[in-house]
Amino acid sequence: MQLSGCILVKNNARTIRYTIESLYKQVDELVIVDSGATDGTRNIAAEYTDKIYFNEFENFAAQRNFAAKCCNGEWIIMLDADELVGANFVEIRKYLTGRYRSIALPRYNLIDIDPLIFMTTKPHYLNWQTRCFRNDGKSYFWDPVHHKLGNYQPRLKCAVTHFFHLDFLFNSYQSRKAKVDYYNGIEPGSGYPEAYLFEDYPNITAEVIEGIEPKISAMLLAEENLFRHKSATPAWNRQRYEAFLYHTRSLVTRTRSLVGL
């Protein structure tokens, strides 16, 4: 099965290299859809692919639907320009030949990098993202803000591998508050402050179970001016609990795919 990787960009020069480095060796083609970057994002993307397309931004759903039409693979995986795929992402190919129309991955929302710490509480985890789907023209994105996928069933929730979200590492509270206000301006109630402004809500943290590629980890460690949100070291039993859940969910994924559930 041919797998297309697709990333939507605008002014993402600070994060786009991380996203591409995690993905481009894992896919059969890399497609970039730009809505008018002026900060060098396109130049960075051009180091990895010549499949860079421009589309005037209307809304997030329309942009993703345009991007899907630019992809040639039988399956598409879509990332935001501040996301990574995990070290186990290669395993997703095992599930592309089954009965599923789409595959959802959980997402780690990172708040620190040494070690990699994520928030385990809702709405930050499992935070399923249905971004991998058959490229047959039948699925489509419809929500103008959070670009939900339509006609995606049957879907496999694949806990073997994760997305990693860099938003909290690269954006201040003030810039995230501006994003909440922007989303609410498009569609009232869509800003989800409990997700983007995590500092205002109770949360529990743990170290990630699935890691990222060592090269990307080294790049992050060398990055200056990250917003690293220190938290209390999780108790050993919390870490063991998260590890137990990860391996249990992974087993469920593999079992479901074998029996076709």
CA distances from 109 to 55, 75, 129, 257 (A): 28, 25, 12, 26
Per-residue pLDDT of the chain (261 residues; tens, 9 = 90+): 899 999 999 999 999 999 999 999 999 999 999 999 999 999 999 999 999 999 999 999 999 999 999 999 999 999 999 999 999 999 999 999 888 999 999 999 999 999 999 999 899 999 999 999 999 999 999 988 777 999 999 999 999 999 999 999 999 999 999 999 999 998 898 899 999 999 999 888 999 999 999 999 999 999 989 999 977 556 668 889 999 999 999 999 999 998 877
Q: Where is 43: in which H helix or E strand?
A: helix 41-46
Spell out where the chain has E strands.
Answer: 3-9, 29-34, 52-54, 75-80, 83-85, 102-105, 107-113, 116-119, 129-134, 140-141, 149-150, 155-157, 163-165, 205-207
Q: Which pTM was predicted?
A: 0.95
